[in-house]
Structure 1
Amino acid sequence: MLSAASRPYIDASVPVLREHGLTITKVFYQDLFDTYPHLRNTFNAGNQANGAQQQSLASAVFAYAANIDNAAALAPVISRIVHKHVSLGITAAYYPIVGHHLLKAIKTVLGNAATPELIAAWAEAYGLLAQALIDEENKLYAEAGIIPGALFNMRVIAVSHESELVKSFTMVPMDGSALPKFKPGQYVSVAVQLPNGMRQLRQYSLSDAPDRQHLRISVKREIAGTETPAGAVSNWLHDNVEVGGLLQVSKPFGDFQPETEGDEPIVLLSAGIGITPMISVLNRIADVSPERRVIFAHASRRQDHHPHQADLEKAKQKMPNLQSVTFYEENANAHPEVLSGRMQFRQLPQWDVDKANIYMCGPLPFMQAQWADLLAHGVPQQRLHREVFGPDMLDHLI
């Protein structure tokens, strides 16, 4: 628990972090990488380049300061970070390094306002957070039965085109050992050695049900945008991985675990590549509870950008109470069963909002819009769950 002496300084930091948090995190990462260049391999270079990682850390530090007495609010954030860290092989040795450079960045940006008392308070607060993360990460490593950073050789047995930009890679253990257990919604980290010498890890949701004698990931080729670089890892996977190839993969992790074993209605909302964990959930329900009522809604730009259509059609054949709705922003009129435009609550099949959990995954603007729309139509917030690909802006907390 934070000491009474430090609490006023952390409380006073909230407006300061709102104003200067992004600048602090930019200084932090630059200083960290200048001092420890090898750590660039640990952090997502794409998210560093487009600024998402810096913004995410700024929002996380702000959320921590604003909710330091609200353990219930922070618990899901800590759980998400812990799973991500374990998938990357983060250990306790990283935390003093990060803490040193974070406090140094605060001093640099705030100047004389960063009094010794303020820095001491943040050192205490950071220490408490670091220890909480370390403890939970050690538990998760023990539960998984692995040493930090452990990766496993997987042989690719199938490569399929799911859409114009999405390929699926189906894998089995190279040594013939048993597949790792996972729950629908979880992901694995995939390690890639890039031509520029960097080693990068990326997380990809498992896109098929458990107990199917394989693991499958579905990867969207991230093309360069006007302000964002092309995805180095996704493009490498698309261009280089063939049947018979080898991938180094972590055990599955992730705390986004939709409930698939019950019988109450469930609502699955996705956009773009966010469909991947939802297909895993849908395929699992089709295996264990095909009579269950499922509302499955997906939004894509157009049909050739819509992955896993074959999986959805197979599920429809097995699940009489599956209600599926598709939204296309372009060329929807060419498909009578498709709705035009962006997903809206009023166009979805209706359900008792007090008796169904809603799970969503997709680009952050999509989830922000759905979250607000669902709340506006009376869906209790405790029924809403989301998975964010990439850094989470924690907008629902701050």
Structure 2
Amino acid sequence: MLSQKAKDIVNATLPVVKPNSVAITSVFYPLMFERYPEVKAYFNEAHQLEGSQRKALANAVIAYAENLDRLEALGDAVSLIVQKHASLNILPEHYPIVGECLLAAIREVLGEPATDEVIAAWGEAYQQLADILIAAEESVYKQHETLPGGWRGEREFVLVRKQVESDVITSFYFEPVDGGELAVFEPGQYTAITLTIADKTVRRNYSLSNSPGEDFYRLSVKREVDGLVSNYLHDDLIVGDIVKLTQPCGDFTLSSSQKPLVLLTGGVGITPTISMLLPALQTGRDVHFIHAAINSRHHAFKSWLEYLASEFTNLKLTTIYSEPLAKDNCDLTGFIDQQKLDQLLPEARDLDLYFLGPKPFMKLVYNAAPDLGIPAEQTHFEFFGPLEDLSEEELVAEV
């Protein structure tokens, strides 16, 4: 347990640390990668370049420091971190590396105010958080390996099929190399794939896009213009190649509620909701599937969605294209906005809303949901990248 002396010092220095938090994390990452280059494989370089990783870590550190006496307030945030860490197979030996470099960054940025006593207090606070995360992650790992078909850490899978879903999204079907049973996952969960590209190990989290209970895992990946991993998967990975996957993780999962379900997606955000769709329909609950894309060439799983609509009377499909082609048949055109959502949602707003898409799309839906009368506890979302404050910055609706 954190000593009272350490708490008092952290609280006293928080007003100095907080405004410098992004500066601290901006020093932290290059310092850690220089001292311990082996950990670079656990981080997405794109998030590093755009600064979102630094901001996300800064927000997490400050949130923790502000709640030392009521850690229960961090429940959802801690769960999110634990699930992402478990997906990436973060281990106890990684935590001293982070602690050493984070404290060194605090000392470098704060300068004279970062006395030995101050650094020791923040180090004690960090160790308390590390112990909490290590214990929670070990619980996840133990649960994984005890499930039928489960495993701890990474497991080898072979690519058995590639399927083009749109001009920018391709699906990759993986089966376990050992031919063993495959752990059932929750609709909406993700896995981490480990690849070696140009003699460099890289890891990325991708949502599972198939339904649970099948004998394969399917990842549906959008080609990013400068995406190291996405371009490798699209261009270089071929049937028969072997990769490593971790057991599925994540809290963005389908509830067992019988309330009307709205699956609202933009672009590649469609992938986890495709995993949710069939299981939800099979329960008999009403499902409203609303998808925004540029046009039909960017609309993944279009045929599958139309097939399900023909098979299930409890499914209502709505397609929105921002730049429809001449031959396109869609329900609405333009960008998602609050007025469109108000028209498309069921009149009774006691519903479960799941939404996922590009950051501007997420910001708009997040801010519109309360005004549309959707209960906060029934509003669910997840980022593909580091969690950021959706209420910040000017909203621009685009997918």
Normalising by structure 2, we get a TM-score of 0.90
2:160 counterpart residue number: 157
Q: Deviations over 1:282-323 (max 9, x none)?
A: 02223x32x310121122222211212122112212221222
RMSD: 2.3
Q: Deviations over 1:216-275 (max 9, x none)?
A: 11011110xxxxxx111111010112233322211111121121x442211211111111
Structure 1 residue 65 corresponds to structure 2 residue 61:
no
Aligned partners of 2:303 and 2:329: how far apart in 1? 18
Structure-2 change in CA distance of 1:57 and 1:153 (3 Å): same
Q: Write out aligned runs for 1:181-196 (5 A).
A: 181-195=184-198
SS at match of 1:279: helix
Q: d(CA) in 2 for partners of 1:10 and 1:363?
A: 36
- After superposition, the Cα gap between the structure-2 partners of 1:13 and 1:358, relative to the gap in structure 1 and judged at 3 Å, is farther
- Report the Cα offset of residue 141 of structure 1: 0.7
In the alignment, does 2:286 pair up with 1:293?
yes
What pairs with 1:231-270 in structure 2 (closer than 5 Å)? 231-259=227-255, 261-270=256-265
Residue type of the alignment partner of 1:202: R
Structure 1 residue aligned with 2:397: none
Distance 1:334 1:70 in 2: 57
Q: Partner amino acid for 2:254?
A: P
Contact 2:254 2:276 in 1 (8 A): yes
Q: CA separation of 1:150/1:33 partners in 2, compared to 1, >3 Å: closer, same or farther?
A: same
8 A contact 1:59–1:394 mirrored in 2: no
Q: How far is the alpha carbon of 1:124 from its aligned partner?
A: 2.3
Letter in 2 for 1:215: Y
CA distance in 2, matches of 1:74, 1:245: 41
Aligned-partner Cα distance in 2 for 1:70–1:319: 47
Once the two structures are superposed, the pairs formed by residues 212-223 of structure 1 within 5 Å of their partners are 212-223=214-225
How does 1:238-387 map onto structure 2 within 5 Å? 238-259=234-255, 261-286=256-281, 288-289=282-283, 291-331=284-324, 335-344=328-337, 345-353=341-349, 355-387=350-382
Quote the Cα distance in structure 1 between the aligned partners of 2:265 and 2:15.
Answer: 34
Q: Is the 8 A contact 1:159 1:167 kept in 2?
A: yes
Aligned mates of 2:386, 2:317 — CA distance in 1: 29
SS of structure 2 residue aligned to 1:325:
strand
Q: Tell me the amino acid that sits aligned with residue 273 of structure 1.
A: V
5+ residue gaps, structure 1: 224-229
Q: How does 1:58-97 map to 2 (within 5 A)?
A: 58-97=58-97
Q: Cα deviations across residues 75-105 of structure 1 (Å, max 9, x unaligned)?
A: 1111111111112221111112211110110
Q: Contact 1:292/1:319 (CA < 8 Å) preserved in 2?
A: no
Note the C-alpha offset of 1:153: 2.0
Q: Which amino acid aligns with 1:152?
A: R
Output the amino acid matched with 1:284.
Answer: P
Please name the residue that 1:210 is paired with. 212
Tell me if structure 1 keeps the 8 A contact 2:144–2:152: no
**In structure 2, distance between residues paired with 1:67 and 1:313:** 48
1:327 alignment partner, SS class: strand
Following the alignment from structure 2 to structure 1, what is the Cα–Cα distance between the partners of residues 9 and 295?
A: 51
- Distance in structure 2 (CA, Å) of the matches to 1:221 and 1:105: 35
Using the TM superposition, name which of 164-173 and 13-22 deviates more: 13-22
* Post-superposition CA distance 1:341-390 (Å, at most 9, x none): 2223223232432x322111122222121011011222222221111101
8 A contact 2:292–2:320 mirrored in 1: yes
User: Which segment is superposed worse, 172-181 or 68-77?
Assistant: 68-77
SS at match of 1:249: strand
Q: Secondary structure at the match of 1:112?
A: coil
Q: How is 1:37-52 mapped onto 2 (pairs within 5 angstroms)? A: 37-52=37-52
Deviations 1:156-203 (A, max 9, x none): 2221111111100112222221112101111111111011x2100111
TM-score calculated relative to the size of structure 1? 0.90
Letter in 1 for 2:315: L
State the SS of the aligned residue for 1:292: coil
- Equivalent pairs counted in the alignment come to 386
Change over 3 Å in CA distance of 1:69–1:323 after alignment to 2: farther
Q: Deviation of residue 212 (structure 1)?
A: 2.4
Contact 1:208/1:283 (8 A) holds in 2: no
Q: Residues of 1 paired with 2:15 and 2:321: CA distance? A: 41
Residues of 2 paired with 1:302 and 1:13: CA distance?
52
Three-state SS of the structure 1 residue aligned to 2:365 is helix
Give the Cα separation in 2 of the matches to 1:199 and 1:43: 11
Distance change (3 Å), C-alpha of 1:113 and 1:328: farther
Distance 2:72 2:213 in 1: 34
> Which one is further off, 84-93 or 275-284?
84-93
Question: Greater shift after overlay, 92-101 or 360-369?
Answer: 360-369
Unaligned runs of 5+ in 2: 393-399
C-alpha contact 2:145 2:152 (8 A) present in aligned 1: no
SS at match of 1:204: strand
Secondary structure of 1:129 counterpart: helix
CA distance in 1, matches of 2:273, 2:67: 31
Higher relative CO (CA 8 A, sep ≥ 6), structure 1 or 2?
1
Percent of residue pairs identical: 38
1:53 corresponds to which residue?
53
> Match for residue 202 of structure 2?
200
Pairwise CA distance, 1:338:
2.7
How far apart are residue 391 of structure 1 and its match?
A: 1.1
**Residues of 2 paired with 1:172 and 1:268: CA distance?**
28
